[in-house]
Amino acid sequence: MFDFVSFIPRAIVQGIPLLLGSTGETLTEKSGNLNLGIPGIMYVGAISGVIGAFFYEQSAVEMNGFLAVSIPLLCSLLGSGLMGLLYCFLTVTLRANQNVTGLALTTFGVGFGNFFGGSLIKLAGSEVPAIVLSATSSYFCASLPFAGKLGWFGSIFLSYGFLAYLAVVISLAAAYFLRHTRAGLHLRAVGESPATADAAGINVVRYKYGATVIGSMIAGLGGLYYIMDYTSGIWSSDAFGDRGWLAIALVIFTIWRPDVGVAASFLFGGLYILHMYIPSGMNLAIKEIYKMLPYVVTIAVLIISSMRNKRENQPPAGLGLPYFREER
C-alpha cells in the first residue's frame, strides 16, 4: 500500500521552495521580465539568511526566538532583493538582454552562495563540510505543539514550520493581487503591452522594478526555507541543486497563476521524491526516469498551451522584450 501519510508531508516540504520560487518568478514575469537569475537569487536568499543566522548564533549569549527568526529573514530578503535590483538595473534601466543578464545572475548567485558557504565552514572550523545552524533552525521548524497528537491529520496539515504556511499565504495573496487589485491589473498590463500601459499613464519602469525586486525577495525565501526548515539548518555546497530551474518550470506549468502553484508545487515536490516511494526492486535506474517527470509534464503544458493558443494561457506578450518608449 502506498504510504500517503508519510509521502504527502515529504512532497509538501519538497514543494515549498519551488512554490516560493515560482510565485516570485510569476510576479516578475507578469511585469515582462523573464528572470533566469532565479536559481542564483534563491542561492543568495539562502546564504544571506545563513550568514545572518551564523553571526547571530556566534554572538548571542542566549538566543531570542524573535531575533533568531527575524535576523535571517531580513538578511535573506535584503540579499535577494539586491539581486533583483541588479537585474532590473541592467535590463530595465540599461536595457540589456534579459536572458544573458539572467544567466549571468545565476552564475554569480550560485557562486556567491557556495563561496560564502564555504568560507563560513572554514570560520566555523567544522569537521564536516557543512554549516550546522540547529538552534536557528529549531525556531524555523517549530510546528504547532499539538500537531503530533492528531495522527494523520496532524502530520499532513500541521507538521510544518511557519515559512511553509507563509509560502501558501504569499501565493494566494499574489494571486489575489494579480486578479483583484488595481496595482495587479496595471502590472498585468505592463507585462502584456508596455506601450499600452504607458499610454494609459502607468509608470512602466516603476512596476517592472517593483515586481522584480519583490518577486526576487519571495524567491529568496524559498532558498531560506530550504536551509532553515527542510535541511534543519545544514548548509552544504550545491545542496540546493537545480530547484531554481524547477521553480521556473513550475511557472509555466501553472500557466502564470500563483494559486494553482500551491497544488502544483506539491505535485512537483511529489514527483521529485516519487522515485523513493515506487517499489522498483533492484532497478535503481528507473528512479532517474521518474525524476524526469516534472520537466516532461512542463514541456507538455508548454506545447499544449501553445497549440490550443488560448490567450489566457500564454506567456505575457511582452515577456523578454525590453521597452523603450521612443522605439515604438
Segment 68-107, which members bind another protein (CB under 8 A)? 86, 89-90, 94-97, 99-101, 103-107
Residues 261-290 that bind another protein (CB under 8 A): 284-286, 288-289
For the bound state, the minimum distance from the C-beta of residue 308 to another protein, rounded and expressed in Å, comes to 9
Q: Would you state the torsion angle of the CA atoms of residues 131, 273, 46, 165, taken in this order, to the nearest 10 degrees?
A: -120
Q: Site map for another protein, 231-260, x if CB under 8 A? A: ------x----x--xx-xx--x--------
Q: Which of 22, 114, 137, 171 binds another protein (CB under 8 A)?
A: 114
C-alpha triplet 234, 168, 107: angle, nearest 5°: 50
Question: For residue 296, how many other CB atoms are within 10 A of its CB?
Answer: 11
Instruction: Looking at residues 161 to 220 of the shown chain, list those that interact with another protein (rule: CB under 8 A).
Output: 180-182, 184-186, 188-189, 192-193, 195-197, 199-202
Of 8-16, 154-162, 219-227, 297-305, the window that binds another protein (rule: CB under 8 A) is 297-305
- Distance of closest approach, residue 193 Cβ to another protein, in angstroms: 5
Residues in 19-38 at the binding interface with another protein, rule: CB under 8 A:
34, 36
Q: How far is the CB of 144 from another protein (least distance, A)?
A: 35
22, 28, 36: which is closest to 103 by C-alpha? 36
Rounded to a whole number of angstroms, the minimum distance from the CB of residue 58 to another protein is 19
Cα four-point dihedral sign 266, 268, 274, 276: negative
Q: According to the binding rule CB under 8 A, does residue 306 interact with another protein? A: yes
Grid cell locating 170? 504569499
> Which residue, among 139, 189, 207, has the nearest Cα to 318 in the 3D structure?
189
Let me know: does 183 contact 169? Beta carbons within 8 Å.
Answer: no
Neighbours of 192 (CB within 10 A): 18
* 49/194 with CB nearer another protein: 194
Smallest CA-to-CA distance from 83 within 111, 100, 49, 108 is with: 108
